[in-house]
Amino acid sequence: MRDKLYINGEWVAPLEGGALPVINPATEEVFHYIPAGTAPDAEVAVAAARAAFDHGPWPRMTGVDRAKILRAMAEGIRSRLPELTRLEVMDNGKPIPEAEWDLTDAAGCFDFYAGLAEELDGEVEEIALADGRFTSKAVREPLGVAVAIVPWNYPLLMASWKVAPALAVGCTMILKPAETTSLTALELGVIADEAGLPKGVLNILSGKGSIVGQALIDHPLVDKVAFTGSGPVGSRIMAAGAKDIKRISLELGGKSPFIVFADSDIEKAVEWIMFGIFWNQGQVCSATSRVLVERSLYPALLERLVAETKKIRIGDGLEPGVLLGPLVNKGQYEDVKRHIARAVEQGATVACGGKRPEGFEKGYYLEPTILTDLPLDSGAWVEEIFGPVVCIRPFDTEEEAVRLANDSRLGLAAAVMSADDERCERVAAAFRAGIVWINCSQPTFTEAPWGGYKESGIGRELGRWGLDNYLETKQITRFTGKEPWAWYLKG
């Protein structure tokens, strides 16, 4: 486990000497200290990334050569899968199969963007101009020094979604992991070194968002901030970027709906509702936390959902067979409990869960929770809870379900289930959300665009769309006319 910052290819102690405890959410024990970077460290890291961009080889290499290093980074993650899995579980609380899944995806992300880096070589778009005296072409270039700020729910995976495309196009960068989960992000420094990434191309600064994160987003030599996290911090990043017109991409929260029509198979509906909200302890931006069920199916579905939810094995993520670990930290745990208590005050019924499971003295454990009878203006129905809490209600018509689904300031994801394909397509088209699942909820693919409508963000990550976050487009226009231009010099 690293206890230094990774700056300009070296492991260095933070200049102001601070450290932050790393707490295992399953035991509440401190098992390590990570370095707490501050503004002076941000200064050095930005200077290193700037120099590597302005004068170093990385942006000037061919995509084919960058791809070799990205593939070596993918391999570096895969070859360390057991140790990285353990770190992710102890840092975040997620069960082993989830951590393995995330880390395998993270490696796949580096492979995927290696492929796109190769395709970028020589990419030129000739532009047909109406004026035949000119020819024009568009080329794309790396936009410079990027800062990636990531949350704690998928520590290395969220970092990879930003680091892999940024490196693929030739940007240099500073990665700022969340203060509660920095261990695997710091390991990426070792992996980058071994893969042969030139010095200064990737710098990794752990530390508090309000201190080192703020110093990075305020820095005038940073060209781009790519952020995943909460809405309030996203707004702050936009405001900071407004000062010097930084490029900003934001992946923020969600309060995503899942509409289940009565012709759905009840078994499949229950499975996907559970996967949609209990995976990763519900700490998923795209979690389908508002479930709308057609009234004739509602009683039977609710009964089965409650029965299956009660069977979920809760425990320390390191224990085999566990499917629900603790929440990530004390703050998050208290927050989710507050949401549940407030929902009850506002009229909700707790169909199951809502409390600490029996037999757990320590750890931030919460039973998976199903809330019904919520008023439409209650906090739990409207606000992102970011925990294993699903709100469920019946509906009568397709029009009503779509209206309720879209009645949110957030628009990250939405899901629909029905045996009627045409209805699914109709509802998918009506959703105001960036990600739509039909007959499932949550599967995420590196090849497909990811991001939100409305207050859920700006821009798209993943797929070829993920490259656009780190590229500038340049037009190169040439005068080829036979006659002189003769505006001033008439001859």
Chain contacts with ligand NAD (rule: CB under 6 A): 149-153, 158, 176, 178-179, 209-210, 213-214, 217, 228-230, 233, 236, 251-254, 285, 384, 386, 412, 457
Contact predicate 392/258, CB 8 Å: no
Least Å distance, CB 336 to ligand NAD, is 12
Catalytic residue status for 424: no
Contact predicate 299/341, CB 8 Å: no
What tokens were used for 121? 């070589």
Angle at 414 between CA 374 and CA 115, to 5 degrees: 150
Least Å distance, CB 205 to ligand NAD, is 10
Residue 274's identity, in one-letter code, is M
Q: Name which of 40 and 299 has its Cβ closer to ligand NAD.
A: 40
End-to-end CA distance of the chain: 74
Residue with smallest beta-carbon separation from ligand NAD:
209
Q: Name which of 243 and 313 has its Cβ closer to ligand NAD.
A: 243
What tokens were used for 300? 């039977």
Cα–Cα distance, 98 to 342 (Å, whole number):
30
Q: Name which of 152 and 298 has its Cβ closer to ligand NAD.
A: 152
Q: Name which of 58 and 450 has its Cβ closer to ligand NAD.
A: 450
Q: Name which of 50 and 176 has its Cβ closer to ligand NAD.
A: 176
Least Å distance, CB 306 to ligand NAD, is 26
134-142 and 202-204: which strand pairing?
A: unpaired
Cα–Cα distance, 234 to 455 (Å, whole number):
10
Find the length of the chain.
491
Cα 431 to chain centroid, rounded: 21
Cα–Cα distance, 103 to 80 (Å, whole number):
10
Catalytic residue status for 285: yes
Q: Name which of 179 and 398 has its Cβ closer to ligand NAD.
A: 179
The label of the residue with tokens 């009645």 reads: 407
Question: In which region does residue 196 sit, left (phi positive, over 0), alpha (psi from -120 to 50) or beta (all else)?
Answer: left
Least Å distance, CB 102 to ligand NAD, is 12
Among candidate residues 251, 294, 384, 398, the one labeled active-site is 251
Least Å distance, CB 229 to ligand NAD, is 3
Among candidate residues 171, 285, 391, 424, the one labeled active-site is 285
Least Å distance, CB 149 to ligand NAD, is 5
At residue 231, the 3 state secondary structure works out as helix
Cα–Cα distance, 390 to 33 (Å, whole number):
35
Just list the catalytic residues: 251, 285
